[in-house]
Amino acid sequence: MGATVKYDEVEIGLQIPAVEYPVHRVNLVMYAGASGDFNPIHWNERHAKAVGLPDVIAHGMFTMSQAGRFVTDWAGDPGALVDYGVRFSSMVVVPDNDEGAVITVSGVVEDKLDDNKVVLSLTARSGDSRVLSKARATVRLA
């Protein structure tokens, strides 16, 4: 966890530097076990391709959780997250090789609200694709 971000030190327009989150097939299998979502498109290449996907894809909620992790790591407090929502706009394709995939998340402070809350606009990409759109988080800062 990072240092706790202080409300008074944050300005609208503050750019939050990008963080890369590597994704390998084993991460998807572990997530399936934790979430109970064992859909074979998330772990079986043969099945994923049979239904028209380019390869195994990450769970949408796994992708969303990486952006949520970005926010709570930045804020320095997992309990600071007040509201969070995204739309899924593309898939995170996870090939079965040593590189896997990478989800890159960055953010910007979009607004400052009462009660030490800020609104973050998030960008999440994998390769050339934006994988989350309309991604927004409201965080209560110290």
Cβ proximity of 21 and 103 under 8 Å: yes
CA–CA distances in Å: residue 94 to residues 31, 41, 46, 98: 14, 11, 13, 10
Position 123 in a domain: yes
Which pLDDT value is given to residue 114?
A: 94
Coil, strand or helix: which one is 62?
helix
Total domains present in the chain: 1
Whether 32 maps to a domain, the answer reads no
Q: What global pTM score does this model have?
A: 0.94
CATH (domain of 85): 3.10.129.10
Three-state DSSP at 109 gives strand
Range of the domain at 89: 7-22+57-140
Per-residue pLDDT of 4-21, as tens digits, reads 899 999 999 999 999 999
CA angle, residues 11, 16, 19, in degrees to nearest 5: 170
User: pLDDT tens-digit profile of 52-92?
Assistant: 999 999 999 999 999 999 999 999 999 999 999 999 999 99
Report if residue 38 sits inside a domain: no
What pLDDT score was predicted for residue 2?
A: 61
What's residue 3's pLDDT?
A: 76
